[in-house]
Amino acid sequence: MHNETNYQASTRGRVLRIDVRVTQREYQRIKSRARKAGIGMSAYMRSRALSDPKGALTINVDADELKKAYADLKRAGSNINGAIILNGAAIGEGCIVGAGALVTQGKHIPAGTLVVGSPARTARAVTPEEREHNLANAQLYVEEARAQL
Residue-level pLDDT at 1 = 42
Tell me, what's the pLDDT at 125? Answer: 95
* pLDDT score for 138: 75
In DSSP terms, which residues pair with 84 in a beta bridge?
Answer: 102
Q: Which residues contact 96 (CB under 8 A, 6 or more apart)?
A: 77, 78, 79, 113, 114, 115, 126, 130, 134
Q: How far is CA 7 from CA 42, 43, 58, 85, 97, in A?
A: 15, 16, 30, 57, 59
Give the side-chain half-sphere CA count within 13 A for 21.
0
pLDDT along the chain (149 residues), means of 10: 50 79 91 85 82 54 69 56 83 86 90 92 92 81 72
DSSP 78: B
Q: What is the pLDDT of residue 2?
A: 44
Looking only at the bridges linking them, the beta strands covering 96-97 and 102-103 are unpaired
Residue 110 burial (C-beta neighbours within 10 Å; 0-12, 13-18, 19+): middle
Q: What is the pLDDT of residue 4?
A: 46
Residues 60-81 as b or e (16 or more Cβ within 10 Å = b): eeeeeeeeeebeebeebbbbee
